[in-house]
Chains A and B, each alone.
Chain A
Amino acid sequence: MQDLLYFSQQLINGLTIGSAYALIAIGYTMVYGIIGMINFAHGEIYMIGAYTALIAITGLTALGLAWLPLILIVALLCAMIVSSSMGWAVERVAYRPVRGRHRLIPLISAIGMSIFLQNYVHLAQGSRNVGFPALIEGGFNFSADGAFEMSLSYMQITIFITTLICMTALSLFISRSRTGRACRAVSQDLGMASLLGIDTNRIISATFVIGAALAAVAGLLLGMYYGSVDPLFGFIAGLKAFTAAVLGGIGSIPGAMLGGLILGVSESMTSGYLSGEYKDVVSFGLLILILLFKPTGLLGKPEVEKI
C-alpha cells in the first residue's frame, strides 16, 4: 500500500509537469510542422510569459485586488498577450528573412534570438530568481496507515484542468475553424496552399502566436508550481518540451501532448526512485535514444527524402 501510494504520488507529479511540458511542446511541434525549423527561442518566450504573469500578479495585488480568480485571469491574459506579441515579433524579425535558406541558418538565427531574449530579461529584471507567490494553496491528502502521505494539491488540479481546456480549445480550433483548416493545409504542402490562395505568411505568424500563447499559459502555471522564476528558467524547460515534441513525433499535435506526459512521468519516476539530480540526464538521454532509433517519434509520419 505504501509503495503504491508513493508510486501514485510520482505519477501525479509527473503528469502535472508533463502536461505543462505538453503546452510548451505544442509551440515547437506546430512551427516545425509548418516551416520545418526548430524555434530555439520558444523556451525564452515561455520564460517571458512567466515574468509577465508575475509582474501582473504583483501589480494587481499591490493595487489592492483580492479576488483570486480575477487576478489569475488578468495575469494569464497579460502573459498571453505579451508572449504572443513576442512570438509574432521574433518570427517577423529573426525567422522570416531567413526562411527557405539552408536548414542551419534559421537555427543559428534562433539560437541568437534565444541568447538575446535571455539577456534582455536578465538586464531588465536582474539575474537572481524572483519568488512567485503561491496563490493556490492546499489540496487533498490521502494516507494509508500513517507514514507516507500522498497529496494532490489544488495547484496540480489547476494545471490539469487548464491544460485540458487549452488542449481542447486548440483541437477544436485546428479541426473546426477556417484558420485551423488553413494551418493544416499549409503544414501539408506550403507551396500548394499558397497557390490555392491561402496567405501563408499570415498562417505562419498565427502558428507562432498560438504557440507563444500556450507557452505563456505554461509559464504562469509552472512559475506558480515551482515558486520562482529566473532568466534561465526557459532554457531547460524549452529543451524538455522539445524532447517531448520529438518523442511524440514532431509535427503532430496529439504527439506533443503524449510526449509531454511520457516525459514528465519518466522524469518524476527518475527523481522518485533514483536521484533528482539525474532527471535531466534521463530526459536528454531519452531524446538521444528516440532520435537514434525512431526519429519520427511515436505518432509522427515518416519523412520521405525527395531528391
Chain B
Amino acid sequence: MAAKNYRHALFCAIVTLIISFPILGFNLEAKGISVTLTGAETSTVIAVVLAAVAVFVFQAYRDSFTGLLGKLPRLNPLAGREPMEQAKKAKLESWILTGIVVLALFWPFVVSRGSVDLATLVLIYIMLALGLNVVVGLAGLLDLGYVAFYAVGAYTFALLSQYTGISFWMALPIGALLAALFGLMLGFPVLRLRGDYLAIVTLGFGEIIRILLNNWTTLTGGPNGIGGIPEPTLFGMEFGRRVKEEGNTSFHETFGIAYSGEHKVIFLYLIALVLAVITALIIRRFMRMPVGRAWEALREDEIAARSLGLSRTAVKLSAFTIGAFFAGFAGTVFASKQGFISPESFVFLESAIILAIVVLGGMGSQLGVILAAIAVTILPELAREFSEYRMLIFGAAMVLMMIWRPQGLLPMRRIHIKLNRQE
C-alpha cells in the first residue's frame, strides 16, 4: 500500500513538473519577426520545483491528511435546525438587505468621486447578477451568453440617442424591453435543449451578437464603438456645466449652487441604486409568485414538475425573458455611465464574470449574489498589485466552489421540513 502511494505521488509530482516547467520556465519574446527564448528567473524555477515537492508530499501522505480533515468539526451550523429558526434567518436576511440599502443611500456623500464611480459599477454588476440569478440560480438554465442582452440594452440606448436623440428615461424601458424580446426570440427555439447544449447555444449566440456589433460598421461603428451617449437628466435638469439641449435647465443653476462634477457622478450612482433596488424587489416578488415556485420546481425535477401540469416551455421562457430584461436595464445604465460603448465591453469573459458572481454568491440567493458582486468588483481594486491575477483566481475559485461548495457561499434557503423515509 505504502509503495503504491509513493509511486502515485512520484507520478503526480512529475506531472506537476511537466505541466508547469515548460510554460513557466521559458519566456518567449518576440523581437521583430523572430522569436527568442529566455529562461525564467531562478525564483520561478525554484517555485515550480517546490510545487512539485508539495504535490509529492501531499499525495504520499494523502491518507493522513484526509484523516486529519475528517477530525475537524463540521463547518455546517445550519444542519438540523428547526424550520422556525430558518424563518428567522430569512427575516434577518431582509433586514441586512435593508441595512445595506440605507447605508448605500448616504454613502456617496462622504467618499471620494472615484469610489462613487466604482460603486456605480458595482450596482450595475448587482443588477446583472440578480438577473442572471433568475436564469441560472432559480430556473437552472445555464446561460453563457448573458452579456448579449446587456449589449442589446447598451446599444439600444446608444443607437437611439445617436439617431433620434432619445433621453435616458425613454431609453431605459425600450432597452430593457428590446433585450427581453431578444431573450424571448432566442429562448423560444432553444429552451427545449438539454442543460449543457443550452449553455453552448447561448454562448454561440453571445459571440454572434458581439461579432455583428464588431463588423456592422455602418450602424454600430464597429470596434470604434459609439460615443457621446447622453447622461440622465432629473426632470429636465442636466448635470453638465452648460446645458446641451434646448429646453433643459442645468441642475446647479436651478438650485443656485456652485457647479461641481460630483453632482453628476452621485446622481448616476443614485439612479443605479434605485434601479438595483427595484430589480431586487421585483425579482423577490417573482420568487414568491407561482411562476417563481415553478422555476424552482422545474429546476429540481423536470419530470415531476411536468407531470404536475407545468408547461416546461412557458416557465423556462419566462425566466429567460425576465433575466434578459434586467440585463437590458443594466446595459442602459452602463451606456449612460460610460458615455461610450464598444464591443470590447461585451466579451465572453464578462458573461463568465457574472456567472462567477452568481456561483460564488450561492445560486438563487439574493443576499449572497449581492455580496459576491460587491466582493468580485471591489477586491481587485483594493489589491491592485494582484489585479493581473484576478482572472486566474476567478477560474480557480469557480473550480474550487464546484468541488467543495456547489451551492455557493450563502445558499438560498427555502423553509422546508425534510421527511425521513420510514424503513
In the complex, chain B residues 387-423 whose Cβ is within 8 Å of any chain A Cβ = 388-389, 391-392, 394-399, 401-403, 406
- Min CB distance, A292 to chain B, in Å? 5
Near A by CB (< 8 A), chain B positions 133-176 give 140, 142, 144
Question: Whole-angstrom distance from the CB of A231 to the nearest CB of chain B?
Answer: 11
Stretch among B61-69, B72-80, B204-212, B309-317 lining the A interface = B204-212
Closest to A303 in B: B194
| A104 CB, nearest partner CB in chain B, Å | 5
Q: Is the interface of A mostly helix, strand, loop or mixed?
A: helix
Q: Is B224 an interface residue (CB 8 A)?
A: no
A100: interface (CB < 8 Å): no
Asked if A54 contacts B142 (CB within 8 A), the reply is no
Distance in angstroms between the alpha carbons of A105 and B37 in the assembled complex: 39
B303 CB contacts on chain A under 8 angstroms: 307
> Measured between alpha carbons, how far is A37 from B398 in the docked complex, in Å?
17
B19 contacts the other chain (CB 8 A): yes
User: Which of B197, B355, B388, B392 is A108 in contact with, Cβ under 8 Å?
Assistant: B355
A109: which of B34, B388, B399 is its contact (CB, 8 Å)?
Answer: B399
The residues of B that contact A112 with a CB separation of less than 8 Å are 356, 394-399, 401-402
Give chain A nearest CB distance to B17 CB in angstroms.
Answer: 9
A-B contact count (CB 8 A): 180
Rounded to whole angstroms, the CA-CA distance of A292 and B201 in the bound complex is 9
Q: Does B105 contact A (CB under 8 A)?
A: no
| CB-CB under 8 A for A55 and B26, given A109-B403, A287-B201, A288-B205 | yes
- Tell me whether A115 and B196 are in contact (CB under 8 A): no
How far in angstroms is the closest Cβ of chain A from B62?
13
Q: Is the CB of A78 within 8 A of B22?
A: yes
A58/B204 in contact, CB under 8 A: no
Interface size class of B (residues with CB under 8 A): 35 or more
Cβ of A278 under 8 Å from chain B: yes
Question: How many Å lie between the Cα of A112 and that of B199 in the bound state?
Answer: 14
Q: Are A103 and B391 in contact (CB under 8 A)?
A: no
Contact B19 A105 (CB under 8 A): no
Residues of A within 8 A of B18 (CB): 81-82, 85
Q: Is A27 positioned at the interface, with any CB of B under 8 Å from its CB? A: no
B201–A291 contact, CB under 8 A? yes
The answer to whether residues A97 and B392 also contact, given A85-B19, A278-B211 and a CB cut-off of 8 A, is: no
Distance of A42 Cα from B352 Cα, bound (Å): 17
Known: A55-B26, A85-B18, A104-B142. A97 touches B398 (CB 8 A): no
- A280–B197 CB distance below 8 A: no
Interface pair B396/A295, CB less than 8 Å apart = no
Cβ of A242 and Cβ of B200 under 8 Å apart? yes
Chain A, range 261-307, C-beta contacts under 8 Å to B: 275, 277-278, 280-281, 284-285, 287-288, 291-292, 295, 307
Nearest CB in chain B: distance from A79 CB, A: 9
B contact set with A: CB distance below 8 Å: 15-16, 18-19, 22-24, 26-28, 30, 33-37, 140, 142, 144, 189-190, 193-197, 199-201, 203-205, 207-208, 211-212, 214-215, 303, 348-349, 352, 355-356, 359, 388-389, 391-392, 394-399, 401-403, 406
A interface with B by C-beta (< 8 Å)? 37-38, 48, 51-52, 54-56, 58-59, 62, 78, 81-82, 85-86, 88-89, 93-94, 97-98, 101-109, 111-126, 128, 130-133, 235, 239, 242-243, 246, 275, 277-278, 280-281, 284-285, 287-288, 291-292, 295, 307
List the 4 closest pairs (A to B, CB-CB), nearest first. Answer: A112-B398, A116-B395, A115-B395, A284-B204
Q: What are 13 of the A-B contact pairs (CB < 8 Å)?
A: A51-B23, A55-B23, A98-B402, A106-B402, A107-B196, A112-B396, A115-B392, A123-B389, A131-B33, A281-B208, A291-B190, A291-B193, A292-B190
